Structure 1
């Protein structure tokens, strides 16, 4: 197979032809050679001079040999000729003014296999690459991977200065084998020294130390170093975080760690908008202040106006909330939050004005698992088909989130699980004690390069309290974006004998999507949603509804713009076609 590229030379009438041939090479190897050959790239450039092509040709000898060595070919021949003359034999002073043809000829030779693959000493538990063994392809990349695994094994055992002390790579060309012997120098067992902080951050040094949580005085652990960096990053106070290991050791084989951070801008604002043909527009925004008191604290205000111009029986919903977060209050992974929020809800089946205030603790268990626990006082003034009433609850929300998605805004694989239990203690008015339980699970599977299957299941239950003993905003409705697209907003509820409607005490939501990439930026989506609302705490009597439709996604680089068109499939809660516009995937 031959690759040919034409490019204009310095003069418009001239053309440089570049040809690469590699008889006997696999398609994968040939493609790697073509991608690495600078001469082919220079030949494509319309403004490349003969000197440019000559320089690229001289550099290609080492580059192409490197590609071959990386794949286990240790006896190759590489020739690069310029108008029939070997580039390596040309003097830079004798390069012609114009080069008409470049020919690269590669004879890979036989692929080599390991006759010996030895690395020692190894730390207990070190796992070497499977390919680093006698009889396996002797790829240079495998040797490098084995060396890195050996060094990493010693570092994980507390030997931070472990390194490759020597290597012997002997190629036997008649047998096409490579004997690889690597010798490691573990160095001494090391303990963490001091955290040496570079000046320049607006966050106080004592807070930087507390947030990083570096275990000073304890044995070196590279994972502990990574956790310290991640703790600093997740505060959101820094644009960059860099931890470096000192070159020289201190007393008792201690090693200082250098910390350099670059602060984010203190203030940030943002806004978003979504639109549904029936529900109307939703406008939201936030304003955030980072490093409020010099300890990497964060204060954030959020507002939302929903139902603007909606065609359902409800009006506009207004909400405003403020949240203060302070990291590392008990230990490096436990933070404090304070929350205050007010809402004025004008929904099709009820109106509610509520306020809540309180605080709690946040806990990061791992990069993918986090939780919250708090105490909030909640007051609500409600009016629905059960009458007008006021109620006050002391709530104890506890939540846990396990997020293994590859991209939260546009997941292609992984899963997401979120569960919460909120005990409700009646304090005053018509309130009743009970508990609110919610769970949300999502899973994503990529098939091939263009198809992503996504599924979602939601459940909810109010236990212990009657429907009139908790605010309607804590009960369940189905229909509209977020539950069942194609059905009118909150169209499925619990029907009372006298024709009145209230929210349910149990809920199930099911959604499935098939997302097909049309281009790199455009996706077509087919989806089906179903929802159940029942009057009891657990699924028993109740009604189902469903909807289905098609959608379009346009990737903006920071998340897709979503456009969905849906219609009812089952249930008697609505008819006609609805459409939805927003930012991000539906789930």
Structure 2
């Protein structure tokens, strides 16, 4: 037994002693029973004294006084202190040559920790540490001076965002909960150190108390972590598998910016893996594979060897685009909207772009794009892949309607029916009508999307209308054709353009005032037009930076009362957006327009220039600014100048969805082809914007600063999108 004890650890010896004590206790509790087997136990009657039966109350008051009973009153039992010669009833011999198995060492429980939460517990774990107090509950200490912890700022920010102790806030924390979260945060700090390449770091956790305020008697627990990052490891050997077999391996290797000798950082490796994957996908490697990176840490070299197997699997070029529904969206049509041609080097981004384009047609409920190998690479010749497009048809017919009222439009009821693919592919037919107090219209529109290329639209529109505004009353029949390259919410373009032609017949007059009817005048108009927009803004509906410039030019001819007129309509609009701070956007707009080559009488009132309204000078009515006749009704002009400035100031209300917008507008309309600024109208006001998922809702209240007697005292404008 002596040699067995010598082989045990201290914890083992403690276990052996504990076992011996248990055996002794068991032996002492079983020995009396064995000894009493040879002596008959006394009966219950022998154990009760006679005086307890005769006078029980008096006997009970005497308690345990020994004078009331003699030693002879209790029957003699076995002598418990005498050794037992032998165990009665046990005949098994004690083995002499038994070999006991060595006892296993007891490992200490790793999960058991005792938090120092009592008064007088140490408050400072490491002296002379730089402290970062994240909250009244959590403090970080940085005692290491050399080498300096260069990533400390970013490290603290990430820890603060992920800390479970931070979630407790500054309220009455539960002590047990705080201790549990402290263990989680200690593990988090260790993981973050390894993310930044510190594999020998040490975290010292201390839980103490802090004053809860003026009442010093009230104490609150506080957790402090002292962080000793140690040396920062560097990248050792970098093994990228078969990347060297690619034909453009040198440029691909440059896209993976991790080199031997760089500091180790997991974030960087993950980001560079993504860059390498993107470079492979954009360089023709349609089926490239990259395994998850693995690090082998060598503590002696203070380095980590990186292994990330890469398999390029050959280079490819685009082949044909194949549609799963030829009668609906044909392969030829899909190829026309793709941004690649057969023979172009495969690019994964162009594959994703085609899927977005198919979805943007609005004709499919789901769309999928898959790459399929047609020809494998042969030597230096790339392989060929086909692009298979699968789709499910969406519902194509739409009936819509709207009922509304506006101070400038009166009551307005609008309805339309549309089939978005009546003439495949993407040929839509739309019937529309308007019934209102100031406008009535019936029209039919044919629209061909992606006609002749991506986002190019052919539109033919025929309509008959009757419009009664503050400036004129017009009854018009028109036919318009437009071919344009549009900028959409999904594909906002730096350059959008459109060309078209228009013919119309319109019978017009100035409005009836006080029952006096103006003579009507018929105009026959033919026009060609073109427009172009340069757009560097970051949003169509709610821009925060950049600029837009739009130019419009339309040579026209007009015949009225036996005379032929020729003139040129032109307009330039420019807007600029600049963010100031985190919540304010400064927006400015300017516009200039003119009609050159004909007198005002040769231009139909509906085609003249007017100002005023929600998209012009707020505070004034629609078309209310400009020259007026003797009845004080606008007659329109041949030149226009407008300018606006506003500040879109975020408030923080409703999670930042509400903005306050003070604005100032001005405008001038002249009868001459060049502005004479004979009268400049100004308006100012305040607006609100509520940002939604599809754009801001605008509510503006404008006041005319130099109104005419017939102008309203205030103008209210509600619409979707910014004013400009």
TM-score by length of 1: 0.75
2:549 pairs with 1:417? yes
Aligned to 2:345: 219
2:229 pairs with 1:109? yes
Aligned to 2:483: 361
Cα offset for 1:211?
A: 3.8
Query: Which string of whole-angstrom CA distances, capped at 9 and with x for unpartnered residues, describes residues 111-146 of structure 1?
Result: 848668988866687797898679976532223333
Aligned to 1:189: 315
Distance 1:111 1:576 in 2: 73
Query: Which string of whole-angstrom CA distances, capped at 9 and with x for unpartnered residues, describes residues 398-428 of structure 1?
Result: 2223444433333333333333222213467
5 Å matches for 1:565-576? 565-570=701-706, 572=708, 574=711, 576=713
SS of residue in 2 equivalent to 1:143: helix
Instruction: State which of 645, 648, 657 in structure 2 corresponds to 1:515.
Output: 648
Aligned to 2:446: 324
Rate the CA distance shift 1:343–1:126 in 2: closer, same or farther, 3 A. farther
Cα offset for 1:511?
A: 1.4
Aligned to 1:398: 530
Ranked by relative contact order (alpha carbons within 8 Å, sequence separation 6 or more), the top structure is: 1
Rate the CA distance shift 1:378–1:227 in 2: closer, same or farther, 3 A. farther
Rate the CA distance shift 1:448–1:165 in 2: closer, same or farther, 3 A. same
Cα offset for 1:452?
A: 1.6
Aligned to 2:609: 476
CA contact (8 A) 1:405 1:416 kept: yes
Distance 2:319 2:609 in 1: 55
SS of residue in 1 equivalent to 2:565: coil
CA contact (8 A) 1:548 1:568 kept: yes
Cα offset for 1:67?
A: 4.9
Cα offset for 1:288?
A: 3.5
Cα offset for 1:150?
A: 3.4
Distance 1:259 1:459 in 2: 47
CA contact (8 A) 1:156 1:222 kept: yes
2:499 pairs with 1:373? yes
TM-score by length of 2: 0.62
Query: Which string of whole-angstrom CA distances, capped at 9 and with x for unpartnered residues, describes residues 163-189 of structure 1?
Result: 557968576768977776878655533
Instruction: State which of 135, 138, 141 in structure 2 corresponds to 1:23.
Output: 141
CA contact (8 A) 2:198 2:233 kept: no
5 Å matches for 1:439-450? 439-450=572-583
Aligned to 1:98: none
CA contact (8 A) 2:625 2:634 kept: no
Distance 1:249 1:475 in 2: 61
Query: Which string of whole-angstrom CA distances, capped at 9 and with x for unpartnered residues, describes residues 326-354 of structure 1?
Result: 23433445442211233322122321112
Aligned to 1:503: 636
2:423 pairs with 1:293? yes
2:375 pairs with 1:250? yes
Distance 1:202 1:41 in 2: 54
Distance 1:230 1:405 in 2: 21
Cα offset for 1:29?
A: 3.3
Cα offset for 1:476?
A: 0.9
Query: 153-162 or 445-454, which moves further after superposition?
Result: 153-162
CA contact (8 A) 2:256 2:275 kept: no
SS of residue in 2 equivalent to 1:473: helix
Distance 2:507 2:361 in 1: 36
5 Å matches for 1:58-207? 67-71=192-196, 73-76=198-201, 107=227, 109=229, 112=232, 138-164=264-290, 186-198=312-324, 202-207=328-333
CA contact (8 A) 1:80 1:103 kept: yes
2:664 pairs with 1:528? yes
SS of residue in 1 equivalent to 2:533: strand
Distance 1:161 1:73 in 2: 36
Cα offset for 1:529?
A: 0.8
Aligned to 1:15: none
Rate the CA distance shift 1:232–1:528 in 2: closer, same or farther, 3 A. same
Rate the CA distance shift 1:527–1:158 in 2: closer, same or farther, 3 A. same
CA contact (8 A) 1:36 1:64 kept: no
Distance 1:160 1:57 in 2: 47
CA contact (8 A) 1:190 1:254 kept: yes
The structure carrying a bigger helix percent of its residues is 2
Distance 1:167 1:402 in 2: 45
Distance 1:117 1:532 in 2: 72
SS of residue in 1 equivalent to 2:270: helix
Aligned to 2:622: 489
- How many pairs were matched up? 540
Indicate the RMSD between aligned Cα atoms, in angstroms: 4.6
CA contact (8 A) 1:276 1:579 kept: no
Aligned to 1:551: 687
The structure carrying a bigger strand percent of its residues is 1
SS of residue in 2 equivalent to 1:370: strand
CA contact (8 A) 2:470 2:633 kept: no
